[in-house]
Amino acid sequence: MVSIKTKEEIEKINIAGSVVYGVLELMKTVVKPGISTNRLNQLADEYIRENNCTPSFLNYEGYPKSICISINDEVVHGIPGKRKIKKGDIVKIDVGACYKGYHADSARTYIVGQTNEEIRQFVNNTEKALYKGLSVIKEGIKLNEVSKAIESVAKENGYGVIRELTGHGIGTNVHEDPYIFNYENNESELTLKEGMTLAIEPMFSLKKRNIWMLEDGWTITTQDGSVAAHFEHTIVVTKEGYKILTGE
Comparison of 104 and 206: residue with beta carbon closer to Co ion: 104
Instruction: Please give the angle made by the CA atoms of 122, 124 and 126, to the nearest 5 degrees.
Output: 70
Comparison of 64 and 88: residue with beta carbon closer to ligand MF3: 64
User: In the set 73, 89, 105, 151, which binds Co ion (CB under 5 A)?
Assistant: 105
User: Is 38 in contact with 27 (CB distance < 8 Å)?
Assistant: no
- CA–centroid distance for 85 within its chain: 20
User: Is 59 in contact with 189 (CB distance < 8 Å)?
Assistant: no
User: In the set 15, 19, 43, 57, which binds ligand MF3 (CB under 6 A)?
Assistant: 57
What does 173-240 look like in DSSP terms, one character per residue?
Answer: SSSEEEEE-SS--TT--PBP-TT-EEEE--EEESS---EEE-TTSS-EEESS---EEE-BEEEEE-SS
Binding status of residue 242 toward ligand MF3 by CB under 6 A: no
Quick one: which segment of 4-12, 60-68, 127-135, 143-151 binds ligand MF3 (CB under 6 A)? Answer: 60-68
Binding status of residue 199 toward Co ion by CB under 5 A: yes
Quick one: which segment of 12-20, 53-61, 109-117, 139-147 binds ligand MF3 (CB under 6 A)? Answer: 53-61
- DSSP three-state, residue 35: coil
Residue count of the chain, please give it. 248
Binding status of residue 105 toward ligand MF3 by CB under 6 A: yes
Which one of Co ion, ligand MF3, none interacts with residue 159, CB within 5 to 8 A by kind?
none
Which one of ligand MF3, Co ion, none interacts with residue 179, CB within 5 to 8 A by kind?
none
CB atoms within 10 A of CB 131: 16
Q: Which spans of this chain sit near ligand MF3 (rule: CB under 6 A)?
A: 57, 60-61, 63, 68, 77, 94, 96, 105, 168, 174, 199
Q: Give residues in contact with Co ion (CB under 5 A).
A: 105, 199
